[in-house]
């Protein structure tokens, strides 16, 4: 079965759901798709046959076990979001040529330049709307996100795939660059609470209104 480019197809919806959630049951997919158990099983069987899903037995107390479905590495690869191969290779080479301090300074400058680009899409006055606009801009670059309120004047932005995954595995300064980009683009305070690189299911950024509309870089 070919997933194809149609992101409204049932197969794609199932895989996207599992990109956002660590596992799911048939009931979850029935609710998601609004179809019968039989129809869900047909989609799941096809996805399993193509190597995109694993079915695992889960026991909870007495009684019959039930099954959950999880995405495989092949499924996660469909959502992989990588920066340009040439840019990635150049950064990797530069890490080998200059010291960590120089690369840190360079990545700060890159973060600011990225912020300038994304800021063109961020125009709203309200913080949550600004975060949603940034999430939309990231989505157009292939980044899967969710935005939700996390308290008074606090917004949570979750990213389910990393634009710089291959590089960030070895160089966590990339995460700091991304955080700086968000601060600059949003004019808000941003903290990274969870990170895919630490084994979490997503990168979770907590965003709060800044007392200053313009954040300055540390020297």
For CATH 3.30.1380.20, the residue range(s) in the chain are 85-209
What does the mean pLDDT of the chain come to? 86
Residue keyed to tokens 């919806």: 13
- CA 29, CA 161: separation in Å to the nearest integer? 22
* CB-based contact 162:203 (threshold 8 Å): yes
Question: Which residues, other chains included, contact 132 with Cβ-Cβ below 8 Å and sequence gap of 6+?
Answer: 124, 147
Q: Which CATH number fits domain 85-209: 3.30.1380.20, 3.30.1330.60, 3.10.310.30, 1.10.10.1100?
A: 3.30.1380.20
Point out the least confidently predicted range of 18-22, 127-131, 132-136, 164-168. Answer: 164-168
pLDDT of residue 14: 95
Residue 68: its H or E element: strand 66-71
* pLDDT of 217 above 60: no
- What class, spelled out in words, does domain 10-78 have in CATH? mainly alpha
For CATH 1.10.10.10, the residue range(s) in the chain are 10-78
The model's pTM is 0.76
Residues 35-86: pLDDT tens digits?
999 999 999 999 999 999 999 998 776 777 789 999 998 888 788 765 566 6
Residues 127-156: pLDDT tens digits?
999 999 999 999 988 899 999 998 778 999
């Amino acid at each position: 079965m070919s997933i194809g480019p149609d992101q409204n197809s049932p197969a794609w919806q199932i895989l996207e759901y599992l990109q956002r959630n660590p596992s799911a049951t048939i009931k979850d997919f029935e609710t998601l798709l609004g179809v019968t158990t039989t129809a869900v099983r047909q989609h799941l069987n096809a996805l399993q046959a193509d190597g995109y899903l694993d079915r695992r037995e889960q026991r909870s107390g007495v009684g019959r076990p039930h099954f959950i479905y999880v995405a495989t590495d092949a499924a996660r690869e469909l959502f992989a979001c990588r920066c340009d191969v040439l840019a990635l290779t150049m950064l990797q080479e530069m890490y080998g040529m200059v010291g960590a301090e120089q690369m840190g300074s360079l990545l700060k400058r890159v973060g600011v330049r990225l912020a300038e680009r994304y800021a063109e899409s961020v125009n709203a006055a309200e913080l949550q709307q600004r975060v949603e606009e940034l999430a939309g801009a990231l989505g157009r670059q292939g980044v899967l996100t969710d935005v939700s309120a996390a308290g008074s004047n606090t917004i949570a932005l979750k990213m389910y795939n990393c634009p710089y995954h291959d590089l960030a595995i070895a160089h966590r300064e990339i995460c700091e660059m991304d955080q700086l980009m968000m601060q600059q683009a949003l004019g808000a305070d941003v903290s990274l609470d969870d990170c895919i690189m630490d084994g979490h299911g997503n990168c979770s950024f907590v965003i709060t209104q800044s007392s200053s509309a313009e954040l300055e870089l540390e020297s």
